[in-house]
């Protein structure tokens, strides 16, 4: 564990404030404390964790926000190690993968798909998701010359150019809509999927690049198997390390353990504290520039460093007086509402047992839900024997208004759609919903330039940093990385150095 209890109370230590107690803010607070600062964390809600929230209800593990994290990025894995949580990470259960709702039935996501790019031509030809015309159009990617220039482009324009409309509507849009808040026609390719732009530049074709990557991954896997089989070659990949993982008691385990660790090292945690404005204060100790935080209810608080770890929409309001230019740039980063409905049923309620980890619903199918996760298939320990736990998603870029309804309506819509689509029968054993107004950040065309402009403005304010999902990565690992980096920047700024960068 980092930081020393009691150290923060020592007089003369600079004080830093963190606004927002989601995972980005919690990580920032931990790092600021570890770097020797006194830290106060202000969170509007009555609980910490932001969108990361899990609850055990009648034997079911209910997740209101994220349910997993990717392990190829270090953010969560390293934080889990730091918090002593490694042994509580759990892998995804093996299964037949995931599905896409298509013309009234569930079709498997073609094997070897690199998110939306086919990396297995036999699977591409066999899938029923695309017509023959759509498949031939996708294969034209092999001969269409790459675009010249390095300008940003929308995801829609990119996929239409390379793979055609059917791949856009039947694969790309549904598979991506649950992750990003911007609709395909406005989503920034360079911010959301820089790898695809790179694949086109380097290989001239997405399919060729995906095939090459797959061959390379197969070769590496072969070498690993050989190394493990060789005498003394033990180690090898951890069999429990899957691409996605979670924690035994859900993603909330991470947030609650982080909050406990912060309390232990003396961070002043203040849930139920809404910040209304961050303003310039008279220079504090050592003539450093300081900030005054105005809280709802009239209280003010001074700090030499501030990490604002709220969604960008809130940043725009908080910093409007301090730096109108910075606030305006943050205000240009929008977000899309999304809601999650947890529903539990007895197995008998399903005409056919739910297969795989769930399915996504393309916008062109015009349903009122955008996807379903079979939580109890995906991870162990999510539901009692003989029952199934589902997470149904509403809202997102295809139909944001669906997410902003009262809880009873969210539940009713989710149930009606499951009954119509899967033939589900009877009353659920449990229903719990959460709607997130600023659910998924929208990285629209030009996003990276906007973030770079924000970073340039922050260069003039070394004690101030922004963190969280709005800038350089939406997933929990990205948010943790951005919180850590923001903390280091503020600490370096207070010590007299530091360069601005929003990461994650």
Ligand X SMILES: Cc1cc2nc3c(=O)[nH]c(=O)nc-3n(C[C@H](O)[C@H](O)[C@H](O)COP(=O)(O)OP(=O)(O)OC[C@H]3O[C@@H](n4cnc5c(N)ncnc54)[C@H](O)[C@@H]3O)c2cc1C
Q: Give contact residues for ligand X (rule: CB under 6 A).
A: 19-25, 42-45, 50-52, 65-69, 274-275, 309-311, 314, 318, 338, 340, 436, 439-440, 468-469, 474-476, 479
Nearer to ligand X, 25 or 305 (CB): 25
Nearer to ligand X, 341 or 383 (CB): 341
Query: Whats the size of the chain, residue-wise?
Result: 504
- How far is 476 from 474, CA to CA, in rounded Å? 7
Rounded to the nearest whole angstrom, what is the least distance from the CB of residue 277 to ligand X in the complex? Answer: 9
- How far is 279 from 256, CA to CA, in rounded Å? 30
Residues 6+ apart with CB under 8 A from 315: 308, 327, 330, 331, 466, 470
Tell me the DSSP string of 11-57: TT--EEEEE--BHHHHHHHHHHHHTT-EEEEEESSSSSBTT--EEEE
Bridge-based pairing of strands 305-308 and 15-19 is: parallel
Per-residue buried b or exposed e for 200-234, using 16+ beta carbons within 10 Å of the residue's own CB? beebebbbbbbbebeeeeeeeeeeeeeeeeeeeee
Nearer to ligand X, 318 or 349 (CB): 318
* Helices and strands, counts by H and E, the chain: 17, 22
Residues 6+ apart with CB under 8 A from 97: 108, 109, 111, 356, 357
H or E element that contains 373: strand 371-374
Rounded to the nearest whole angstrom, what is the least distance from the CB of residue 150 to ligand X in the complex? Answer: 28
Rounded to the nearest whole angstrom, what is the least distance from the CB of residue 333 to ligand X in the complex? Answer: 12
Give the distance, in angstroms, between the CA of residue 215 and the centroid of all CA atoms in the same chain: 29
* Angle of helix 155-162 versus helix 194-203 axis, rounded to 10: 30
Rounded to the nearest whole angstrom, what is the least distance from the CB of residue 502 to ligand X in the complex? Answer: 11
Nearer to ligand X, 177 or 329 (CB): 177
Rounded to the nearest whole angstrom, what is the least distance from the CB of residue 414 to ligand X in the complex? Answer: 13
Rounded to the nearest whole angstrom, what is the least distance from the CB of residue 496 to ligand X in the complex? Answer: 28
Nearer to ligand X, 37 or 315 (CB): 315
Nearer to ligand X, 207 or 258 (CB): 258
Nearer to ligand X, 145 or 298 (CB): 298
Nearer to ligand X, 191 or 211 (CB): 191
Give the distance, in angstroms, between the CA of residue 169 and the centroid of all CA atoms in the same chain: 22
Rounded to the nearest whole angstrom, what is the least distance from the CB of residue 135 to ligand X in the complex? Answer: 31
Nearer to ligand X, 44 or 405 (CB): 44
Nearer to ligand X, 163 or 315 (CB): 315
CB atoms within 10 A of CB 308: 26
Rounded to the nearest whole angstrom, what is the least distance from the CB of residue 484 to ligand X in the complex? Answer: 12
Rounded to the nearest whole angstrom, what is the least distance from the CB of residue 265 to ligand X in the complex? Answer: 19
Rounded to the nearest whole angstrom, what is the least distance from the CB of residue 342 to ligand X in the complex? Answer: 11
Tell me the DSSP string of 117-170: EES-HHHHHH-SSS-HHHHHHHHGGGTSPPPPS----BHHHHHHHHT-HHHIII
Rounded to the nearest whole angstrom, what is the least distance from the CB of residue 318 to ligand X in the complex? Answer: 6
Angle at 40 between CA 461 and CA 265, to 5 degrees: 120
Nearer to ligand X, 272 or 497 (CB): 272
Nearer to ligand X, 25 or 498 (CB): 25
- How far is 230 from 29, CA to CA, in rounded Å? 45
Give the distance, in angstroms, between the CA of residue 222 and the centroid of all CA atoms in the same chain: 31
Rounded to the nearest whole angstrom, what is the least distance from the CB of residue 134 to ligand X in the complex? Answer: 29
- How far is 219 from 226, CA to CA, in rounded Å? 11
H or E element that contains 394: strand 387-395
């Amino acid at each position: 564990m980092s930081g020393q209890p009691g150290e923060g109370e020592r007089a003369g230590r600079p004080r830093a404030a963190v606004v927002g107690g989601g995972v980005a803010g919690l990580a920032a607070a931990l790092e600021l404390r570890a770097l020797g600062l006194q830290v106060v964390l202000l969170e509007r809600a009555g609980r910490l964790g932001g969108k990361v929230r899990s609850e055990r209800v009648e034997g079911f593990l209910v997740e209101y926000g994220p349910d997993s994290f990717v392990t190829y990025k270090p953010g969560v894995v390293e934080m889990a190690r730091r918090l002593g949580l490694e042994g509580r990470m759990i892998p995804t259960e093996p299964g037949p993968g995931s599905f896409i709702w298509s013309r009234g039935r569930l079709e498997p996501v073609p094997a070897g798909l690199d998110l939306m790019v086919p990396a297995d031509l036999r699977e591409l030809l066999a899938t029923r998701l695309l017509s023959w015309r759509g498949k031939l159009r996708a294969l034209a990617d092999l001969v269409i010359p790459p675009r010249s220039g390095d300008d940003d482009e929308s995801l829609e324009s990119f996929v239409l150019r390379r793979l055609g409309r059917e791949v856009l509507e039947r694969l790309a849009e549904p598979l991506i809509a649950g992750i990003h808040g911007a609709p395909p026609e406005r989503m920034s390719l360079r911010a959301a999927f820089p790898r695809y732009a790179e694949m086109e530049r380097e290989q001239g074709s997405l399919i060729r690049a995906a095939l090459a990557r797959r061959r390379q991954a197969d070769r590496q896997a072969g070498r690993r198997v050989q190394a493990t089989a060789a005498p003394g070659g033990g180690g090898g990949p951890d069999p429990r390390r899957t691409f996605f993982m979670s924690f035994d008691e859900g993603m909330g385990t991470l947030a609650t353990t982080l909050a406990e660790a912060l309390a232990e090292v003396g961070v002043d945690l203040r849930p139920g504290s809404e910040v209304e404005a961050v303003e310039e204060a008279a220079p504090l100790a050592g003539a450093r520039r300081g900030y005054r935080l105005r809280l709802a209810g009239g209280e003010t608080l001074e700090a030499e460093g501030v990490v604002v770890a709220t969604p960008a929409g809130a940043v725009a309001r908080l910093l409007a007086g301090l730096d109108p230019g910075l606030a305006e740039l943050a205000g240009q980063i929008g977000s899309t509402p999304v809601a999650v409905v947890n529903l539990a049923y007895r197995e008998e309620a399903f005409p056919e047992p739910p297969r795989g980890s769930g399915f996504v619903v393309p916008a062109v199918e015009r349903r009122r839900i955008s996807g379903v996760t079979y939580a109890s298939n995906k991870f162990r320990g999510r539901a009692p024997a003989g029952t199934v736990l589902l997470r149904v998603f509403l809202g997102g870029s295809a139909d944001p208004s669906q997410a902003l309804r009262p809880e009873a309506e969210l539940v009713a819509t989710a149930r009606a759609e499951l009954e119509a689509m899967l033939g589900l029968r009877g009353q659920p054993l449990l229903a719990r919903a959460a709607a997130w107004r600023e659910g998924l950040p929208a990285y629209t065309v030009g996003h990276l330039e906007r973030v770079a402009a924000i970073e340039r403005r922050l260069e003039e304010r070394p004690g101030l940093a922004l963190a969280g999902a709005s800038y350089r990565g939406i997933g929990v690992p990205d948010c943790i990385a951005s919180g850590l980096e923001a903390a280091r920047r503020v600490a370096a700024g207070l010590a007299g150095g530091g360069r601005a960068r929003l990461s994650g």
